[in-house]
Structure 1
Amino acid sequence: MPQPVRYSPSIEERQPNEAETIGKLDEQFAGIQETTAENYGHGVRAVHAKGHAIARGKLTVKDGLSPELAQGLFARPGDYDALLRFSTQPGDILDDSVNSPRGLAIKVFGVEGERLPGSEGDTTQDFILVNGPIFGAPTAAKFLGNLTMLAKTTDKLEGVKKAMSAVLQPIETGLKAVGLASPTLEQLGGAAPVHPLGETYFSQTPYRHGDYIAKWALFPVSKELTALTGAQIHTAGRPDAIREAMNEALAEHGGTWEVRVQLCLDPEKQPIEDSTVEWKQADTPFITVATLEIGPQPAWVPMESIVTEDRLAFNVWHGLADHQPLGNINRARREPYKQSAERRGRVNGCPMLEQKTLAEVS
């Protein structure tokens, strides 16, 4: 395998008017949150507002990793407490028959090392993943355009969204079957109603991996999880069908995933600034660096889980300097995600404080 590309600040290329674009992104986030707070009397996330499961587990970094893989969090073998939040993409809390991409946010505790600006003094590392290998926009400006379009659907009649989802889902299934999947159609309700526990989750955007550059993914490996890969959840007449399915599965068996790293070997084939280009596994395979295991547990406890959600915030910029987010999409997420969490905290009268240990998460 060719030698992986070494990280250098010069690998990134700032876009024209990037700061202005980021400011407008935050305005869209704020608009979504103002609308939903007024509707619900409660502050929720600007994206991935509806949580379906919160699970506690253990991340185990493998021993004997090669030097290019043994970087940052993965530099030494060991165990870390971890918390997982499964969600779907919209910024409003919808009936589960409105199909959208599945998201997974992971917070790893007890991670020591030089920190990214804004997370000094903390000892957690956040990962934000989605069940598709590419991001829905190539640039922050296009991301703003997509978010502006989605923001206009916030607070619209849920029946219209259900109807759109019913129409778009078979179209997107057909496109995906011939290799033409559309992230835009998925965002608008065309995603398949798959079981979150059977999915593979991708970082979509690149990150510094210590001395190198990588993307991350989480692959289900235990038989209980792989049995759910591709399985669909019947949502008709069940507004919280995903929570019900997650509760049933996790209470019975828990599961195990592998954390895998995909190193950048050629910045032409694996670009940093355009996250709509998939890094083909034939060119740079995913390699296992850790396992993530959760035992049998309730996935969603009414009221209790909502309180836990209110106290949690995830941001790709919260973690080690060795895992600095790269590319204009990641640069564009930094401040809007931070402001989104702070707005939510103000509305709910619950300032966002980063937990030191898993035991501090209620």
Structure 2
Amino acid sequence: MDAVKESLAQGYNSAKRALSTAPPNDAYLHWDAPGVEEIKPDEEAKAQQIADTMNKMQKHNFDKHRHAFRATHVKTQGLVKGTLTVPSDLHPHLSQGLFAHPGTYPIASRYANEPVFLQPDTEPGPRGMSIKVFKVHGERLETHGNENLSTQDFFFNNAPMIELTDIDTCLEIMQLREKYFDSPTGLAMALKLRTDAIKQHAPGMLPNTNMISHSMYTQSAFRFGEYYGHMAMFPVLPEMKEKSGEAVSSSGPYTQISDWLFDYFKGAPAKYEVKVQLGTSPVHHPTEDASIVWDEVTAPYQTIGTVEFPVQDSFAQGRRVFWEDHMVLDPWKGLAAHRPLGSINRLRKVVYGRSQKRRDELNAKTSSDIQSIDEMP
């Protein structure tokens, strides 16, 4: 039966590929080719407005909890250490940036809820996963404080697109989220009045299941050496995949997802296959509209590595406090070969630093760019 399904899928994909106007799948476009990015003159001002708005939401959280969190992905669900392995036999078009250097790299990772407030696990919504890779070497992005670092941060969510779309939409949505911070009903009503209402409600329709079973996507585009693309991580182990049947009940505990992750990592390792989609056309594979899912028929995922986490305590309190209060993650503090692309990423160059600064001010703490996995408890 599986062979029949695979044959039918291949036939469907072949027919779809034949009808597509996209360039050939292997006609990979250079990352700075015309049309890949279109930078608008007012982006800096809008990025500052978004940062102001998100700082206000950080203050709302502080007023509620007497503790400041990140501007998004507020609720920690699990923290684990592991490795990223880059194989030595990648094809030249995949041997790019970090992935041009075969070997095993230490990594630290955080599972979290995406919303800007401490959401009960009984409520569906986007789930995220961030990874800090250590012992990374190569030309760095020209970002303040990045010159002497040896890390690379990657950010994933459990949907292949992001409803925030671009800098203009992001500003509008963040202002609504701040306005209705204490009124989910008011926010839902305001979103229903938008022309992109279906898109804005899409995150609430994601399956509220055990996070260990989720595939994770960068959602937005990044430079991938000579080219550009999206990255994703897919669960490999059967024991991870089978957890997709565990759905959070509306009457379940506030901490159901972190409880499940803790129970999983207490008895089993996790393994993900890391893959990349490479773009061939700004029309079919845009960077400026991050709400468009790149068709896997015209931009198939290709394996570039594996991520593995051994059995461990995924909710050690010392590790949680260290990450939440001291850890810096920033997509603009990394390799030039993995430069963030599109306005939804360019705004992060402003927002992440402002968020970190506000968090440090309110908590009277000092965040830092750690350079060794051993610095993390």
Q: TM-score, normalised by structure 2?
A: 0.86
The 1:131/1:42 distance shift into structure 2, 3 A limit, reads same
Aligned to 1:184: 200
Distance 1:136 1:239 in 2: 26
Larger mean Cα displacement after TM superposition, 215-224 or 1-10: 1-10
Of 236, 261, 271 in structure 2, the residue corresponding to residue 221 of structure 1 is 236
Residue 192 of structure 1 deviates from its aligned partner by 2.4
Aligned to 2:170: 143
Residue 190 of structure 1 deviates from its aligned partner by 4.0
Residue aligned with 1:149, SS: helix
Residue 149 of structure 1 deviates from its aligned partner by 1.7
In the alignment, does 2:67 pair up with 1:34?
A: no
In the alignment, does 2:32 pair up with 1:5?
A: no
Distance 1:360 1:183 in 2: 40
Distance 1:71 1:303 in 2: 36
In the TM superposition, 1:1-362 aligns within 5 A as: 1-8=25-32, 10=34, 11-116=36-141, 117-118=143-144, 119-156=146-183, 182-187=198-203, 189-229=204-244, 231-234=246-249, 236-302=251-317, 304-362=319-377
Residue 290 of structure 1 deviates from its aligned partner by 0.6
Letter of the structure 2 residue corresponding to residue 141 of structure 1: D
Give per-residue Cα distances to partners, 1:100-150, cap 9 Å, x unaligned.
101011110110111112322111100111111111133201011111222
Give per-residue Cα distances to partners, 1:335-356, cap 9 Å, x unaligned.
1111101211222222111111
Kept in 1, the 8 Å contact 2:163–2:202? The answer is no
Distance 2:97 2:288 in 1: 22
Distance 1:245 1:203 in 2: 24
Structure 1 gaps, min length 5: 169-179
Structure with larger Rg: 2
Letter of the structure 2 residue corresponding to residue 60 of structure 1: T
Distance 2:166 2:228 in 1: 19
Residue aligned with 2:128, SS: strand
Kept in 2, the 8 Å contact 1:33–1:43? The answer is yes
Give per-residue Cα distances to partners, 1:245-280, cap 9 Å, x unaligned.
110011110210011011012222111211111111
The 1:216/1:186 distance shift into structure 2, 3 A limit, reads same
Residue aligned with 2:52, SS: helix
Residue 322 of structure 1 deviates from its aligned partner by 0.4
Residue 304 of structure 1 deviates from its aligned partner by 4.7
Aligned to 2:6: none
Instruction: Give the RMSD, CA atoms, in angstroms.
Output: 2.4
The 1:304/1:133 distance shift into structure 2, 3 A limit, reads closer
Residue 2 of structure 1 deviates from its aligned partner by 2.8
Residue 12 of structure 1 deviates from its aligned partner by 1.4
Letter of the structure 2 residue corresponding to residue 114 of structure 1: E
Residue 305 of structure 1 deviates from its aligned partner by 1.7
Structure 2 gaps, min length 5: 1-24
Aligned to 2:21: none
Residue aligned with 1:308, SS: helix
Residue aligned with 2:295, SS: coil
The 1:304/1:125 distance shift into structure 2, 3 A limit, reads closer
Distance 1:330 1:215 in 2: 12
Aligned residue pairs, count: 346
Residue aligned with 2:347, SS: helix
Kept in 2, the 8 Å contact 1:219–1:257? The answer is yes
Letter of the structure 2 residue corresponding to residue 3 of structure 1: A
Distance 1:289 1:115 in 2: 21
Distance 1:290 1:358 in 2: 20
Distance 2:244 2:255 in 1: 20
Give per-residue Cα distances to partners, 1:45-93, cap 9 Å, x unaligned.
1111001000100000011111111000000210100011011111111
Residue aligned with 1:227, SS: helix
Give per-residue Cα distances to partners, 1:175-206, cap 9 Å, x unaligned.
xxxxx99552144x443212111111111111
Distance 1:200 1:275 in 2: 18
Kept in 2, the 8 Å contact 1:199–1:230? The answer is no
Q: TM-score, normalised by structure 1?
A: 0.90
Q: Percent identity?
A: 29
Aligned to 1:175: none
Kept in 1, the 8 Å contact 2:69–2:324? The answer is no
Distance 1:112 1:238 in 2: 43
Residue 235 of structure 1 deviates from its aligned partner by 5.2
